[in-house]
Amino acid sequence: MSRLELTPPLTVLIYSWHRVCILMVSGQPSHVERVHMEVRHRIVHGGYAPGVPLSEAKLARELRASRTPVREALSRLLEEGYVERIPRRGFFVARVTVAMIHNVFEIRRLLEGAAAARAAELATPEDLGRLRALADYRYADGVAANRKAYEINAQFHTAVAAATRNGLLVDLVRNCIDQVTRFMALGVSLQTFQEAASDEHLAIVDAIEQKDPAAARRAAEQHLDASSRFLMKALMNGDIRGVSV
């Protein structure tokens, strides 16, 4: 078995495909899906910190659901790596580890390098206009500004994937970005990251506009390598809370 087959984020991506198929058939989320998406959103955006207990009864009251869909949603989140289960104690928000951060960026490098290369072949003028507008966004400090920065960053990366006209690729990229948003929500300020990130985004757009797949792939990979180094530096400086070795 190859190294990639062993990396934990692939489990998240596989179950993401399963959920996409369910929603495509049903047209709307089930009770389980609704609870799953809400709890996952709170974990991703820092509403539930690593190590926090997740009581089935309390979640059922808060989300106005019975305990059965709550239990099923927590089981899905366990499979995806967002929660942990301790025997005789129940579910807890999963800890963030250094290995998890490394693995997520490894997967993103593969997916988004390929996405940028394909986008260089297929992007329309409308795609390019949206990408350039998102790439030009300049970050600022503060909680509200950080939240906006996360949103714009996610929109940029998913827009690159969307330019490939491959819906599954968009979903996979979005799932990886959710993991990174979770890391960032644990205390990282993006102010020191803003100039480099914006310039790197623009380099990706330039390569896509020039219809140069190799250059687009290289620009995307270089950006993700720089982002990974930034996050690791923040970790070493103690800016990220609740991370385990």
Digit-coded pLDDT (tens) for 148-200: 777 888 999 999 999 999 999 999 999 999 998 888 888 776 666 666 788 99
Residues 90 and 143 in one domain: no
Q: Domain count for the chain, please give it.
A: 2
Residue 92: band (very low, low, confident or very high) from pLDDT cuts 50, 70, 90: very high
Q: What is the pLDDT of residue 28?
A: 55
Supply the CATH number for residue 29's domain: 1.10.10.10
Percent of the chain with pLDDT over 90: 59
Tens digit of pLDDT for each residue in 28-50?
568 899 999 999 999 998 899 99
Average pLDDT over residues 190-219: 89
Looking up tokens 């974990």 gives: 43
236 has a pLDDT exceeding 50: yes
Q: Is the pTM higher than 0.85?
A: no
Are 80 and 44 contacting, i.e. CB atoms less than 8 angstroms apart?
no
| Residue where one domain finishes, among candidates 49, 69, 94 | 94
| Residue where one domain finishes, among candidates 59, 94, 129 | 94
The domain in which residue 176 lies consists of 97-244
Among 61-75, 100-114, 194-208, which is the least confidently predicted range?
A: 194-208
Residues 79 and 105 in one domain: no
Are 83 and 191 contacting, i.e. CB atoms less than 8 angstroms apart?
no
Task: Identify the burial level of 88 via C-beta atoms within 10 angstroms of its C-beta, where 0-12 means exposed, 13-18 middle and 19 or more buried.
Answer: exposed
DSSP state of 95: P
| Residue where one domain finishes, among candidates 35, 59, 94 | 94
More confident residue, 45 or 58: 58
More confident residue, 147 or 119: 119
Q: What is the pLDDT of residue 195?
A: 64
